[in-house]
Every structure is written in structure tokens, then in C-alpha cells.
Amino acid sequence: MLSKERHQTATGPQQNAFIESFNGSLRDELLNEEIFDTLDDARRKLALWRYDYNAVRPHSSLGNQTPLQARRALEQFEGSAHGALAQTETHDYQNQTRRLSL
């Protein structure tokens, strides 16, 4: 008889807490509360909820700032949020990583 080795990962809310929290908010605040008459109606309601979630509502994980405020603060601090997330200059990137590894 052949035996197969199985590798399973844990599933459930503990797997990715941030995504599970977002999914719970989306489900509790929009999907369980609204009736969607058409696909366009669902898109409109989702866009309004997403704007509220990203630009109006403060998040405790961001120091009670909205994601929009947190991004603006990062842009002011780093000069550009895109520059903080992705390096374009190879030489500059190597200097920064060399400083981190010291």
C-alpha cells in the first residue's frame, strides 16, 4: 500500500487576521444589511462603503487615522508612499539595504 504524505496549513480566521477582519466588516456592514436590486446597484453600494471604509472611518490599527490620512502621513514622512514601497534606483536600493544589514 502506498502512503501519501499530506501537508496541510491551518485554515480559519487565524490564518490572516487583517483579511478576516476586513471580510467581517464587509459582510456585517454591507452584505448582511443591503439588498442589491441589480449589479449596478451592488457596485454603487460597494463603492460608497469602500469610500467610507478608506476615507472616512478611522482604524485603530492605523493609530485612529483613516487609511487616507495614514497614506498622506507616510507620503510626507517618506517623500512618497510609492518610493517607500518600491525602489526604482538599484544603487540607492543597495545602499539602503546595506545600512539595514549592518
In the prediction, which pLDDT does 39 show? 96
Q: What is the pLDDT along the chain (102 residues), one digit of tens a residue?
A: 555 555 556 566 567 887 888 899 999 999 999 999 999 999 999 999 999 998 899 988 889 999 989 988 888 887 655 555 544 455 554 554 444 444
How far is Cα 54 from Cα 64, in angstroms, rounded to an integer? 12
How far is Cα 53 from Cα 22, in angstroms, rounded to an integer? 10
Residue type, 20: E
Q: Chain-centre distance of CA 30, in angstroms?
A: 18
pTM above 0.85, yes or no: no
In the prediction, which pLDDT does 21 show? 86
In the prediction, which pLDDT does 61 show? 86
| Cell numbers that stand for 87 in this block | 525602489
Residue spans of the domains in the chain: they are 25-55
